[in-house]
């Protein structure tokens, strides 16, 4: 690791004065030598604390000197001492990570719960594969939230690395290694849930083949990057031990892995957005209804936007030496991405619950939504919808036994009953 942190700002370094000698004694020997040489070459007076602490030239000199003469651990210790001596304020954004992880995870769990409620009590059927995949994603997201709050933020992610102890630095990197592969698992499960949902609502053979191919590609994508995230260093523990420069091992280019995964992730998101929108053109719906259904699918674009924002956080990822500070944005956006993804995957069910509670919200596309999300498995159900035409009533029947009669199980049967009204008065013969 390149000792970055060596923006060392010595203070009262007048060698003849006791306070200065005490300050020098607090530093590792390699740092004291650099400080002594640096003071002699600067225009600041040795007793001028304000000048010394504000000197960019001295800071640059010490950074270069300490980088060559000291180990990373010694350099971090020196930076911590000089930060305190120059009364520099300690930065921390760990609390923000706790708030974001708690809030976004809570929302994601609420959406997943709404999905289960819709499936069990509104639709009245058992869980399908897409529901189980969404439940799996919910479990891994909850696990990630605990790691974010108690593992990463709790040990110092979001703070400068030189303000942490050696044990805290190692702990942060170890938890980060775990949450890295959990991110890929979360993302893959959410995508697979969406794909299986599409498989249920788009019965065309060509589209089914396309979606099964997408399912396979997503499985390969997830398995590949989970494997790379776990085994990116040899030995594995070199990931969280390499920071002190005292352990032997090697790691792959983490920046290349991060960019490759992010680019392919965004490509998959765009593909999963394009498939349903492309299929809308074949549906026999009024344009207004098509727009409504398209907007429901387009909520997934939020995931793509968050993925793009996360991509910005990877510009200097893995090339920084202040890891506990600079890894924070990647962790924050990854948490936001997976939770927003799960919420989008559960949105059709949430919408159906809202329509159930507030019927006026879904009058224009009620029949379409019922067909998209599900049907009752035991028994059939019907709902009367009165037509504007006098004497006519249309009954929508979602029939679980329809597939036995050669009708796709996610289809909708429509029964129309005509009531003939007559005002003619009969006369007796």
Query: Is the separation of the CB atoms in 145 and 101 below 8 Å?
Result: yes
Q: 55, 85, 115 — which closes off a domain?
A: 85
Q: Please check the confidence at residue 137 and state whether its pLDDT lies above 60.
A: yes
Position 5 in a domain: no
9 domain-assigned: no
Which of 160, 191, 155 lies closest to 175, judged by CA? 155
**Is residue 104 situated within a structural domain?**
yes
- pLDDT tens column, 257-297: 888 998 999 999 899 888 887 877 766 666 666 666 666 66
**144: three-class secondary structure by DSSP:** helix
Does residue 6 fall inside a structural domain? no
User: Are both 98 and 217 inside the same structural domain?
Assistant: yes
For residue 216, give the CATH number of its domain.
Answer: 1.20.1070
The pLDDT-based confidence of 25 (bands split at 50, 70, 90) is low
**Domain co-membership, 144 together with 108:** yes
Pairwise CA distance, residues 251 & 232, whole Å? 6
Range with the poorest average pLDDT among 4-18, 87-101, 264-278, 288-302: 4-18
DSSP assignment of 170-234? HHHHHHHHHHHHHHHHHHHHHHHHHHHHHHHH---HHHHHHHHHHHHHHHHHHHHHHHHHHSSEE
114 and 260 both lie in a single domain = yes
Q: Which of 85, 108, 132 is the last residue of a domain?
A: 85
Q: Are 126 and 249 in the same domain?
A: yes
pLDDT, tens digit, 9 for 90 and up, residues 183-221: 999 999 999 999 998 898 888 898 999 999 999 999 999
C-alpha 146 chain-centroid distance: 14
User: Do residues 289 and 140 both lie within one domain?
Assistant: yes
Q: For tokens 């907007």, what's the residue? A: 295
Same domain for 78 and 99, yes or no, is no
Regarding whether 108 and 131 lie in a shared domain, the answer is yes
Which CA distances in Å does 61 have to 1, 40, 69, 211?
19, 12, 12, 59
Q: Find residue 416's DSSP bridge partners.
A: 394
Return all residues near 113 (Cβ < 8 A) that are at least 6 apart.
none
The answer as to whether 359 is a domain residue is: no
Does residue 256 fall inside a structural domain? yes
Looking at the fold, whether 346 and 262 belong to one and the same domain comes out as: yes
d(CA 176, CA 317): 13
* pLDDT for residue 43: 65
The neighbouring-strand residues paired with 386 are 393
341's CB contacts (< 8 A; 6+ apart) are 137, 186, 187, 190, 191, 303
Could you list the residues known to form a binding site for heme, using ranges: 48
Known binding residues are 48
My answer on whether 272 and 182 are in the same domain is yes
My answer on whether 108 and 55 are in the same domain is: no
**Rounded Cα gap, residues 364 and 355, in angstroms:** 11
- C-alpha to C-alpha distance for 335 and 288, rounded to whole angstroms: 35
Q: Is residue 420 part of a domain?
A: yes
Task: Say how far apart CA 356 and CA 353 lie, in whole Å.
Answer: 5
DSSP label at 52?
A: H
Query: pTM of the prediction?
Result: 0.72
Which range, 112-121, 305-314, 348-357, 401-410, has the best average confidence (pLDDT)? 112-121
| Helices and strands in the chain: count of H runs, count of E runs | 17, 5
Contact assessment for residue 371 and residue 398, using Cβ atoms and an 8 Å cutoff: yes
Is the model more confident about 32 or about 131? 131
Tell me if 414 is assigned to some domain.
yes
Phi and psi for 232 in degrees, rounded to 5? -70, -20
207 lies in the same domain as 231: yes
Answer yes or no: do 52 and 106 share one domain. no
Q: Is the pLDDT of residue 375 over 60?
A: no
CA distance 356 to 403: 26
Residue pair 391/418 in contact by the 8 Å Cβ criterion:
yes
Domain final position from 52, 85, 118: 85
Q: Where in the sequence is the domain holding 22, given as residue range(s)?
A: 18-85
pLDDT (tens digit, 9 = 90+) per residue, 40-85? 666 666 566 677 677 777 777 777 777 677 777 777 777 777 777 6
Q: How many domains does the chain have?
A: 3
């Amino acid at each position: 690791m390149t000792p970055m942190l060596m923006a060392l700002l010595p203070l009262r370094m007048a060698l003849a004065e006791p306070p200065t000698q005490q300050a020098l004694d607090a530093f590792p020997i390699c740092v004291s030598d650099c400080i002594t040489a640096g003071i002699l070459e600067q225009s600041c007076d040795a007793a001028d604390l304000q000048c010394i602490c504000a000197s960019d030239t001295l800071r640059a000199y010490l950074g270069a000197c300490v980088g060559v003469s000291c180990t990373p651990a010694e350099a971090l210790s020196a930076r911590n001492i000089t930060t305190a001596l120059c009364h520099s304020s300690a930065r921390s954004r760990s609390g923000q990570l706790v708030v974001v992880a708690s809030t976004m995870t809570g929302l994601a769990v609420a959406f997943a719960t709404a999905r289960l409620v819709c499936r069990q009590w509104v639709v009245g059927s058992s869980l399908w594969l897409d529901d189980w995949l969404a439940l799996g994603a919910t479990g891994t997201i909850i696990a990630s939230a605990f790691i974010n709050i108690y593992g990463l933020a709790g040990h110092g992610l979001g703070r400068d690395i030189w303000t942490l102890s050696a044990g805290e630095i190692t702990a942060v990197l170890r938890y980060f290694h775990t949450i890295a592969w959990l991110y890929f698992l979360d993302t893959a499960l959410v995508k697979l849930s969406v794909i299986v949902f599409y498989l249920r609502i788009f019965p065309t053979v060509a589209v089914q083949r396309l979606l099964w191919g997408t399912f396979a590609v997503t499985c390969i994508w997830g398995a590949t990057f989970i494997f790379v995230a776990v085994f990116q260093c040899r030995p594995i523990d070199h990931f969280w031990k390499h920071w002190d420069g005292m352990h032997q091992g090697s790691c792959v280019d983490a920046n290349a892995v991060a960019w490759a995964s992010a680019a392919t992730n965004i490509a998959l998101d765009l593909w999963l957005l394009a498939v349903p929108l492309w299929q809308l053109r074949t549906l026999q719906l009024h344009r207004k209804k098509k727009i409504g259904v398209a907007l429901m699918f387009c909520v997934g674009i939020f995931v793509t936007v968050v993925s793009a924002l996360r991509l910005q956080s990877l510009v200097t990822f893995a090339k920084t030496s202040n890891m506990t500070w600079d890894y924070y944005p990647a962790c924050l956006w990854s948490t936001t991405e997976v939770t927003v993804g799960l919420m989008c995957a559960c949105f059709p069910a949430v919408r159906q619950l809202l329509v159930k509670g507030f019927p006026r919200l879904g009058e224009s596309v009620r029949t379409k939504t019922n067909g998209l999300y599900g049907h009752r498995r035991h028994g059939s159900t019907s709902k009367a919808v009165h037509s504007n035409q006098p004497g006519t009533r249309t009954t929508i029947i979602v029939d679980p036994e329809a597939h036995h009669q050669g009708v796709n199980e996610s289809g909708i049967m429509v029964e129309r009953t005509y009531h003939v009204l007559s005002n003619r008065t009969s006369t007796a013969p």
